[in-house]
A = this chain, B = another copy of it.
Amino acid sequence: MNQITRTAAAEKVMVIGGVAYTMANCPVRDVLDNIGGKWNTLIIQGLADGPVRFSALRRMIPDISQRMLTQTLRDLQRDGYLKRTVFPTQPPSVEYELTDLGQSFLAIVLPVVAWSTDNHERIRAARKVYDEGVL
């Protein structure tokens, strides 16, 4: 079970699987932030089939701004989900590729995606009922 207690020093911690974490160093938060981020999972899935160049990712996800694509790629690289390779051509080209960790992450994300599509009818139905009841 998941519960939260106070330490002797009155510091608030979460206890997950018998181990205590503060909000700032909670491993679940680190991962959940990446799952919940607006573009993270889309990019991870875009890299599922192998290395992809920056411009190719932009074409796969036209909604994303250049700024957000760069920033999200940096975040994912920082956490070790993907590797960035610069080819010294003119003009430069850059490839992004999932690491082993990234592929492992993809493997746990895919079930979530599947569950989402499987259950979105129920969610939308519940939402509609709720919204009508509130009116």
Interface set of A (CB-CB < 8 Å, partner B):
1-6, 12, 14, 16-17, 19, 23, 27-28, 30-33, 35-37, 41-42, 45-46, 48-49, 60-63, 77-80, 101, 104-105, 108, 111-113, 115-117, 119-120, 122-127, 130-131
Contact status A14-B1, CB under 8 Å: no
**Chain B contacts of A108 at CB under 8 A?**
111-112, 115
Q: For A125, what are the chain B residues with a Cβ–Cβ distance below 8 Å?
A: 80
Residues of B within 8 A of A116 (CB): 27-28, 30-32
Quickly give the copy total for this chain: 2
| A63 touching B32 in the complex, CB below 8 Å, given contacts A46-B3, A119-B101 | no
Chain B neighbourhood of A27, CB < 8 A: 116-117, 119-120, 123-124
Contact of A113 among B28, B36, B78, B115 (CB under 8 A): B28
Which residue in chain B gives the minimum CB-CB distance to A101?
B122
Task: Please tell me if the beta carbons of A117 and B4 are within 8 angstroms of each other in the complex.
Answer: no
